[in-house]
A = this chain, B = another copy of it.
Amino acid sequence: MPQASLLDQHGSELFGPHNLPYGVFGTPGDPARRIGVRVGDVVLDAAAAARAVGDEAVAALLDHPVLNPLMAAGRPAWERVRAAVGRWLTAPELYDAVAPLVRPLDSVELHLPFEVADYVDFYASEHHATTVGRLFRPDGDALTPNWKHLPIGYHGRAGSVVVSGTDVVRPAGQRKGVDDPSPVFGPCARLDFEAEVGFVVGAGSPAGVPVSQQAFPEHVFGVCLVNDWSARDIQAWEYVPLGPFLAKSFATSVSPWVVPLPALEAARVAPPERDTPLLPYLDDAALPAWGLDLRLEVRLNGHSLSRPPFSAMYWTAAQQLAHLTVNGAALRTGDLFASGTVSGPGAHERGCLLEMTANGRDPLSLPDGSARGFLQDGDVVTVTAWAPGPDGTRVGFGEVTGRVLPARVP
- Tell me the A residues contacting B by CB distance below 8 Å: 117-118, 123, 133, 136-137, 144-146, 149-150, 152-160, 162, 169, 171-174, 176, 182-185, 207-210, 231, 234, 237-247, 249-251, 277, 279-281, 323-324, 326-332, 335, 405, 408
Contact = CB atoms under 8 A, between A and B. Distances in A.
12 contacts: A118-B158, A146-B238, A159-B330, A159-B331, A162-B207, A172-B328, A184-B279, A207-B250, A239-B242, A239-B243, A241-B243, A249-B327
A118 B159 contact: yes
A280 B172 CA distance: 13
Given A183-B149, A209-B408, A281-B185, A157 B244 contact: no
Contacts of A239: 241-243
Nearest to A132: B241
A280 B185 contact: yes
B157 A118 contact: yes
Copies per assembly: 2
A241 to B, nearest CB: 6
Nearest to A279: B185
Contacts of A231: 327
Contact of A208 (B155, B330, B408): B408
Nearest to A204: B159
A170 to B, nearest CB: 8
Most chain B CB atoms below 10 A, which of A231, A246, A281 = A246
Contacts of A247: 327
Contacts of A117: 158-159
B154 A245 contact: yes
B146 A245 contact: no
A250 B160 CA distance: 23
B155 A155 contact: yes
B281 A169 contact: no
